[in-house]
Amino acid sequence: MFQIMGGKMNQKILTVYENFQNVSLSIFFDELILFINRYHYEFTKYVSKDYLEAMEKFEAKYFILGHSDNNFEIGISYYRNLIEQGLDKENICRQVSLLIWDLSGYMIDEICPICHDSNLRLASSIGREKLIKFCDECLSTEIDGKFVQTDEEILPANRDQVNSYLREQAL
Ligand SMILES: [Zn+2]
């Protein structure tokens, strides 16, 4: 008797990843969001309620995708390997959430002044009223000109927020 490793969730995300090279970044992104909505119940166990609710409404058109130093081709083939080795549901949820962040978090031309290890990304408060700079490496968060460690939930800055930031910089 043989047993299929992992569950349906495993198979579903593998199909999305396998499709990566054949579709645009926008289609790929929207497929990930669809996946999150489909497995809403699993995600509620590992992602905070506010963040999950916001993420479930994301659409590719709201963001400038892929503006970072991530190599998605290498990243996703690494993720595929982990899934094939039987990654559990918790880590699938964490992996997909991180991928959403990596795809949509707009990286700016400014190195983190705290760790000097990564460029900062533009992020936003959940309610979209504040623009925040964030370092993926040391998790430093710049709020109102000061770098702090915070538990505040942040979202990737959306297209409008990035554009208004860039307009301000160009002045
Ligand atoms: Zn840093």
The residue whose two tokens read 């408060």 is 125
Find the 56 Cα to ligand 1 centroid distance in Å: 28
Residue 144's pLDDT band (boundaries 50, 70, 90)? confident
Q: Is the pLDDT of residue 4 over 50?
A: no
Q: Give percent above pLDDT 70 in the chain.
A: 96
- Confidence at residue 3, expressed as pLDDT on a 0 to 100 scale: 43
Stretch (H or E) spanning 90: helix 89-104
Mean pLDDT for 150-163 is: 92
Find the 116 Cα to ligand 1 centroid distance in Å: 6
Contact 4, 10 (CB under 8 A): no
Find the 137 Cα to ligand 1 centroid distance in Å: 5
Find the 15 Cα to ligand 1 centroid distance in Å: 34
CA distance linking residue 62 with residue 59, whole number of Å? 6
Residue-number span of the structural domain to which 59 is assigned: 8-104
- Residue range 106-126, pLDDT digits in tens: 999 999 999 999 999 999 988
Find the 139 Cα to ligand 1 centroid distance in Å: 6
Find the 150 Cα to ligand 1 centroid distance in Å: 13
Find the 132 Cα to ligand 1 centroid distance in Å: 14
Find the 25 Cα to ligand 1 centroid distance in Å: 27
Q: Give percent above pLDDT 90 in the chain.
A: 81
Q: Is the pLDDT of residue 6 over 70?
A: no
Whole-Å CA distances, 33 to 55, 81, 85, 89, 104: 7, 21, 23, 16, 12
Find the 3 Cα to ligand 1 centroid distance in Å: 44
Examine the domain organization and report whether 85 and 26 are in the same domain.
yes
Examine the domain organization and report whether 113 and 78 are in the same domain.
no
Examine residue 3 and state whether it is found in any structural domain, yes or no: no
CA distance linking residue 116 with residue 31, whole number of Å? 34
Find the 105 Cα to ligand 1 centroid distance in Å: 15
- Residue range 36-94, pLDDT digits in tens: 999 999 999 999 999 999 999 999 999 999 999 999 999 999 999 999 999 999 999 99
Contact 33, 59 (CB under 8 A): yes
Q: Is 103 exposed, middle or buried (0-12, 13-18, 19+ CB in 10 A)?
A: buried
Q: Which of 104, 136, 151 is the last residue of a domain?
A: 104
Find the 111 Cα to ligand 1 centroid distance in Å: 8
* Cα 105 to the center of its chain, rounded Å: 7
Stretch (H or E) spanning 123: strand 119-125
Total number of domains in the chain: 2
Helix (H, G, I), strand (E, B) or coil at 82: helix
Find the 126 Cα to ligand 1 centroid distance in Å: 21
Find the 62 Cα to ligand 1 centroid distance in Å: 26
Instruction: Kindly report the average pLDDT of the chain as a whole number.
Output: 92
Examine residue 32 and state whether it is found in any structural domain, yes or no: yes
Examine the domain organization and report whether 153 and 128 are in the same domain.
yes
Examine residue 13 and state whether it is found in any structural domain, yes or no: yes
Examine the domain organization and report whether 124 and 82 are in the same domain.
no
